[in-house]
Amino acid sequence: MYSTTLDITQIRADFPILQRQVNGQPLVYLDNAATSQTPLAVIDAISDYYKHTNANIHRGVHALSQEATDEFEAARQKIQTHFNAAKAHEIIFTSGTTHSINLVANGFASFLEKGDELIVSELEHHANIVPWQMLCERTGAQLKVIPITENGTLDMSVYADLLGARTKVVFVNHVSNALGIINPIEEIIEKAHAVGAAVLIDGAQATPHMVPDVQALDVEFYTTSAHKICGPTGIGALYGKEAWLRKLPPYQGGGEMIDQVTFEKTTYADLPHKFEAGTPNIAGGVGFGAAIDYMNNIGFDAIAAHENDLMRHATKKLKKIEGLHIYGDVENKVAVISFNVEGLHPYDIGTLLDKMGIAVRTGHHCCQPIMDHFQIPGTVRASFAFYNTHEEVERFIAGVEKAVGMLR
């Protein structure tokens, strides 16, 4: 018997978009791994900022500037507390996880030599592959890859063999955006540290479902994007250990990140401003903080339990469909189901589901190496959030059954 501790009716009332129709049908939104929806509390926080506080930060002595600065820095402190960073200035505001990874990869160009080694996994989003490939091209470093097994998990025995004295950085995702698999990042971090390597964890897909403790993980860098956790687009955060952030050179030059500027020499501002050139997405930061508050008020344990119930129910029903194969069908995963049906293209299934008002993602999910590993063009991906319902799962299952029947 299905049950949840969440007041789903009240929660869904917080999300106006969930009340709309698509193609004449009530919307069933199952593309949460791409972006979550935004509650009124976050929309109102952003609107209130523009209505009552809008001003540039850190630069003005007038009241609005000081109020805007206070709101923006309060959001930074909320993120610090949420991820248990030791200091607020270890939280760098970025435009999102892609920006954060590029910032770190660019900085490591100062520390790498030809023949140094970087380790990535086969499970990565392109955003955690391409910046490091570009870095290797600039420095002559070598990129090594942790392969995945047939069920989509990382081959940790190969990882152990890849590590060595020349390993400088290991970068993996906490959760696979394509398959939903939770990676053993504690073991990955510990083994990397044993050879003196730094670690960056792409947390974009983990943070909607759990609360990582960056100090307990002892990780050098951890990234997140607000739009995955009920916040606005165009804002994210990079956690970095203070010692590493002080070593890395600035990623961009301009206003805010400077101490003194002359035509002979420029000196840089202290953390976190060293990495926050230009006027930031102030309203986005305020919205990010409101999203953290909103999700913590609901409770991440309750969120995870509800989402996992939905995933398990959907998985059980999908497996009854003839010819349907789920990729990454393992126990330790978040609420993502990535699947194909034999003889059918995922795009065609996704298109028919859209006609029924059901939003899923199709394609390679910016994870082409995973699809190449399984020798498939892509998958249909259904990703669940805490505001999804048991009834929506039933509509999704019926929709897949109908689409398969129409296409066969």
Is 100 within 8 Å of 238 (Cβ atoms)? yes
Alpha-carbon distance of 248 to 259, in angstroms, equals 16
Taking residues 303-332, report their average pLDDT. Answer: 97
Percent over 90 (pLDDT), the chain: 93
Nearest to 211 by CA among 93, 82, 81: 82
Residue with the two structure tokens 């990079």: 238
Q: Which residue has the higher pLDDT, 44 or 265?
A: 44
Measured CA to CA in angstroms, residue 316 lies from 52, 192, 309, 362 at distances of: 50, 37, 11, 21
Taking residues 43-47, report their average pLDDT. Answer: 98
Q: Is the dihedral of CA 184, 93, 227, 310 positive or negative?
A: positive
Alpha-carbon distance of 28 to 376, in angstroms, equals 26
Q: Is the dihedral of CA 215, 218, 224, 229 positive or negative?
A: negative
Mention every residue, 6+ apart, whose C-beta is less than 8 A from residue 159.
119, 146, 188, 191
Which CATH topology does 43-296 take? Aspartate Aminotransferase; domain 2 (3.40.640)
- Type of residue at 66: Q
Measured CA to CA in angstroms, residue 47 lies from 44, 51, 120, 397 at distances of: 5, 6, 40, 37
Q: Is 136 a catalytic residue?
A: no
Q: Which of the residues 136, 230, 366, 367 is marked catalytic? A: 366
- Indicate the domain borders of the chain: 8-30+299-407, 43-296
User: What is the distance of C-alpha 251 from the center of its chain?
Assistant: 21
Nearest to 207 by CA among 4, 45, 17, 33: 33
Residue with the two structure tokens 């160009």: 109
Rounded to two decimals, what is the model's pTM? Answer: 0.96
In 30-107, the DSSP E strands lie at 91-94
Phi/psi at 225 (5° precision): -125, 135
Quick: pLDDT tens for 70-115. 999 999 999 999 999 999 999 999 999 999 999 999 999 999 999 9
Residue 258's pLDDT band (boundaries 50, 70, 90)?
confident
Alpha-carbon distance of 72 to 168, in angstroms, equals 34
Domain 8-30+299-407: assigned CATH number: 3.90.1150.10
